[in-house]
Amino acid sequence: MAERIVLQPGDISRALMRIAHQIIEANQGTEDVVLLGIPTRGVPLAKRLGENLHAIGALEGDDFDPEASVGMLDITMYRDDLRRRPLTESHPTSIPVSGIDDKTVVLVDDVLYSGRTIRAALDAISDIGRPQRVQLAVLVDRGHRELPIRADFVGKNLPSARSERISVELTEIDGGEDRVIIRDQAGESGQPGDTGDIGGTGNTERGSTTR
In a domain, 127, yes or no: yes
In a domain, 150, yes or no: yes
- Asked whether 186 and 163 are in contact (CB, 8 A), the reply is yes
Q: What is the pLDDT of residue 15?
A: 98
Strand 33-37 and strand 104-112: the pairing is: parallel
Task: Identify which of 211, 72, 81, 202 has the alpha carbon closest to the alpha carbon of residue 138.
Answer: 211
Domain residue limits at 64: 12-160
Q: Which amino acid is at 20?
A: A
In a domain, 195, yes or no: no
Task: Identify which of 144, 149, 156 has the alpha carbon closest to the alpha carbon of residue 196.
Answer: 144
In a domain, 170, yes or no: no
In a domain, 20, yes or no: yes
Can you give the CATH number for the domain in which 106 is found? 3.40.50.2020
* Separation of first and last alpha carbons in the chain: 21
In a domain, 148, yes or no: yes
In whole angstroms, what is the distance from residue 151 CA to residue 42 CA? 14
pLDDT at 189 > cutoff 80: no
User: How confident is the model over 115-120, as a mean pLDDT?
Assistant: 95
pLDDT at 195 > cutoff 70: no
Q: What is the pLDDT of residue 98?
A: 86
Domain count, the chain: 1
pLDDT at 9 > cutoff 70: yes
Q: What is the pLDDT of residue 87?
A: 59
In whole angstroms, what is the distance from residue 47 CA to residue 33 CA? 13
User: How confident is the model over 162-174, as a mean pLDDT?
Assistant: 95
In a domain, 1, yes or no: no
Q: How confident is the model at residue 92 (pLDDT cuts 50, 70, 90)?
A: confident
In a domain, 69, yes or no: yes
Strand 179-184 and strand 164-169: the pairing is: antiparallel
Q: What is the pTM of this model?
A: 0.87
Beta bridge partners of 115: none
DSSP code of residue 114: S
pLDDT at 203 > cutoff 70: no
